[in-house]
Structure 1
Amino acid sequence: MDMVKEAYTWLGTPHRNFAKIKGVGVDCGMLLIGVLEGAGKVKKDAIEIQPYSNEWHLHHSDEWFKGYVEKYCDEISPADIQSGDFILYQFGRCCSHGAVYVGNNKIIHSVVEQGVILSRMDDIMLFDAHGKSRLRYVYRFRGNK
């Protein structure tokens, strides 16, 4: 299955920290893994993630989320974004929010108290108080199983 089609199947899943069960619960990072698995890009449960707090980004500067993404994806220029690419946003001290770009300036991501939603990339929640975009990196999956 195509990654964009797979991302759409997660819409409406409630937000649950460190969960990855479609329709039951998922956070933004685990959503990226769920999309890779559901699209057949990686084997189910092949990507091991250490447990984390839902507030880790407020207390640490280590870019561990980015590090995990870079094990499977290559950074690309935001100008070259294509459907199915992953986007990392900075909230707190480091990148701590991930989304799947689905085309036409839209993303699918898991948001606290909203679950998995479809948003526009110019949604106010993706900008800081000064109007600066929180988008920091765009990645493309580099291979199959």
Structure 2
Amino acid sequence: MTIARAWLGTPYHDQASLKGVGCDCLGLARGVWREVVGPEPFPIPPYSRDWGETGPREVLAEGARAMMIEVPPADAPPGALVLFRMDSRAIAKHVGILTGPDRFLHAYERLGVIEELLTPSWARKITFAFLFPSH
């Protein structure tokens, strides 16, 4: 959690991943990956900010599944990466990192990287959970 919390206060910047300079939710996860695991295994292609995006594939989950250890969301421990489905008809497009049983860290437009309560509303949106691999 110390590594992830070091990103607190980083301003929001779409598709960026620089601690203290700017990141979005995926950029936060990418930055934590670099600090915990090492270099990113592949470049991230440009992506839309649309939380309502629909489609036949869970692109974000598929990418995480290729590099991380998937666990049931109900069993995700602190430190797990969680993916949120912000609209019930959409694919999962928001990323956070659990920091406790009832808290998580994420990058939010206009607020930057924040830690907040995992309220029932947020918890219901968790669709996938992954553990960072050991290095």
The question of a shared fold, defined as TM-score above 0.5 by the shorter chain, is answered with yes
Alpha-carbon contact 2:18-2:27 (below 8 Å) kept: no
**Mean Cα deviation higher: 26-35 or 135-144:** 135-144
Deviations 1:72-128 (A, max 9, x none): 11221233221211111002411001111111411110011111000111165x27x
Matched with 1:58 is 52
Which runs of structure 2 are paired with 1:1-145 in the superposition (5 Å)?
4-39=1-36, 41-43=37-39, 45-55=40-50, 57-61=51-55, 62-92=57-87, 93-122=90-119, 124=121, 126=122, 133-144=124-135
TM superposition score normalised by structure 2: 0.87
CA RMSD of aligned residues (A): 1.8
Alpha-carbon contact 1:33-1:47 (below 8 Å) kept: no
* Structure 2 unmatched runs, 5+: none
* Structure 1 unmatched runs, 5+: 128-132
Identity of aligned residues (%): 26
Matched with 1:130 is none
Query: For 1:142 and 1:12, how far apart are their aligned partners in 2?
Result: 26
Deviations 1:26-83 (A, max 9, x none): 01112111001122x122x44311011222x434323111111111112212332212
